[in-house]
Structure 1
Amino acid sequence: MPSYRTILTVTDLLPGRGPQDVETAARTAVTASTTLEAFQIDVVRGRPRVTVRFTGADDADARAVHGRIIAGVREAAVVPQQVLAKVVGGRSAPVALDA
């Protein structure tokens, strides 16, 4: 089963929300049809970045998971940038979101 990454830049937490809400939202968006492989929060160029690595049956399945992750995290924080990528040979290859 292919592996994918959702990479989100998070700027501000919404009122009453904390970092744990961002993590919970990102982790719970990965459902029974997929497997959470890794979860990571980094600071890149002074901005928090959330990376969720998961398996998916295909690109369409990955797009659905990506959408759920974004929707969930946006309930806790502002997400100005997002990328969905397929992991190919250990590297990220962007996946078109409009297919």
Structure 2
Amino acid sequence: MPSFRARLDITGLRPGFAPPSVMEAATDAVGSAHLVEAHQLDVVAGIPRITVRFLVEPGAYDDENRQALRAADNMQHAVEEVAHTAKLAVLRRVRGRWVPLL
């Protein structure tokens, strides 16, 4: 099954939300339609970044990419309920490398 990563920079929490709610919102949003393989939090140049790795059902290459982009968009929308976000990146695993879609 095709593997994708959605990476999202977090610039701040919304009032009333704790840090764990960010990853929970992200994994719930992606996991509602796809199998979440892993998730992690990194700090890059002082900015928190969440990454959710997930699988998409096999199909036509472009359809798989569209599903992944839709999942990433849903993830960002869900995270925006609890935190402020910045740059979203979507990557696809191709022959052992992560290739950007967005």
Superposition deviation, residue 32 in structure 1: 5.1
Amino acid at match of 2:90: L
Superposition deviation, residue 72 in structure 1: 0.6
**Structure-2 residue corresponding to 1:17:** 17
Question: In structure 1, how many angstroms separate the alpha carbons of the residues matched to 2:96 and 2:85?
Answer: 25
Q: Deviations over 1:26-83 (max 9, x none)?
A: 1101235421001000111111010000011311111111111100111111111110
More strand by share: 2
**Structure-1 residue corresponding to 2:61:** none
**Structure-1 residue corresponding to 2:38:** 38
Superposition deviation, residue 90 in structure 1: 3.4
Q: Provide TM-score, normalisation by structure 2.
A: 0.86
1:1-99 counterparts in 2 under 5 A?
Answer: 1-31=1-31, 33-57=33-57, 58-96=64-102
Question: In structure 2, how many angstroms separate the alpha carbons of the residues matched to 1:75 and 1:82?
Answer: 15
* DSSP-derived class of the 2:84 partner: coil
* DSSP-derived class of the 1:24 partner: helix
Q: How many residues align?
A: 96
More helix by share: 2
Aligned-pair identity (%): 38
Gap regions ≥5 residues in structure 1:
none
Gap regions ≥5 residues in structure 2:
58-63
Q: Provide TM-score, normalisation by structure 1.
A: 0.89
Question: In structure 2, how many angstroms separate the alpha carbons of the residues matched to 1:23 and 1:68?
Answer: 13
